[in-house]
Chain A
Amino acid sequence: GQNIDQPTEMTATEGAIVQINCTYQTSGFNGLFWYQQHAGEAPTFLSYNVLDGLEEKGRFSSFLSRSKGYSYLLLKELQMKDSASYLCAVRLNDYKLSFGAGTTVTVRA
């Protein structure tokens, strides 16, 4: 089976930085995705890492260490609209995605 762990909830203040960690143990690995999902909506693609290192996209950055089975999503300059669930997903060798349970981020004024 696949094991993907991420914290259940995180709370941060508007303008702050939050780091969401994801650790994984899977039968294969073909990349790691981060998605944002607002309540009642579909997941929206944020980032994709297949090689080790940091990928930066505006206020969002994602890091991957394949040897450690570890990734994080960094959200900078938090805004109220960033309140959402953030899903870590590992793509397996057959291109299927295996999802973590999701981290609910609440941004407070």
Chain B
Amino acid sequence: SAVISQKPSRDICQRGTSLTIQCQVDSQVTMMFWYRQQPGQSLTLIATANQGSEATYESGFVIDKFPISRPNLTFSTLTVSNMSPEDSSIYLCSGMKVETQYFGPGTRLLVL
């Protein structure tokens, strides 16, 4: 299995600011992803974090708003830029290892 940690676990931010979320996996994973879960809803994929290259974004998500880095096989960051109240959500990091996909505990973000 893979154990995934995220920092911060939660934050309250002012609109117009940016927040960077860190994701650390305890062992190498082949793929890493970032998801968003809005209140009362299921998970939506934001992007695939590619090691050493630009992330691959899903429809409706753009690099300027959600820049992602993945410098190595066990670490990734997601930045939520120029935040608005609509960005209030839970952001989850995920890693795939041996056919199974595991999730971090999530970062609860509230934008005022």
A residues sitting closer than 8 Å to B (CB atoms) are: 31, 33, 35, 41-45, 48, 50, 87, 89, 91, 94-102
B residues sitting closer than 8 Å to A (CB atoms) are: 1, 31, 33, 41-45, 48, 58, 92, 94, 96, 99-106
Q: How far is the CA of A101 from the CA of B102 in the complex (A)?
A: 18
Looking at chain B's contact residues, the main secondary structure is strand
Query: B45: which A residues are within 8 A, CB to CB?
Result: 96-98
Shortest beta-carbon distance, B91 to chain A, in Å?
11
Query: B48: which A residues are within 8 A, CB to CB?
Result: 94-96
Taking a contact as CB atoms under 8 Å apart, the answer to whether A99 and B105 are in contact is no
Could you jot down 5 A-B contacts, CB within 8 Å?
Answer: A95-B48, A96-B48, A98-B45, A99-B42, A102-B42
Shortest beta-carbon distance, B48 to chain A, in Å?
7
**CB < 8 Å: which of A48, A99, A100 contacts B100?**
A48
Q: How far is the CA of A55 from the CA of B42 in the complex (A)?
A: 24
Shortest beta-carbon distance, B8 to chain A, in Å?
15
Query: A101: which B residues are within 8 A, CB to CB?
Result: 41-42
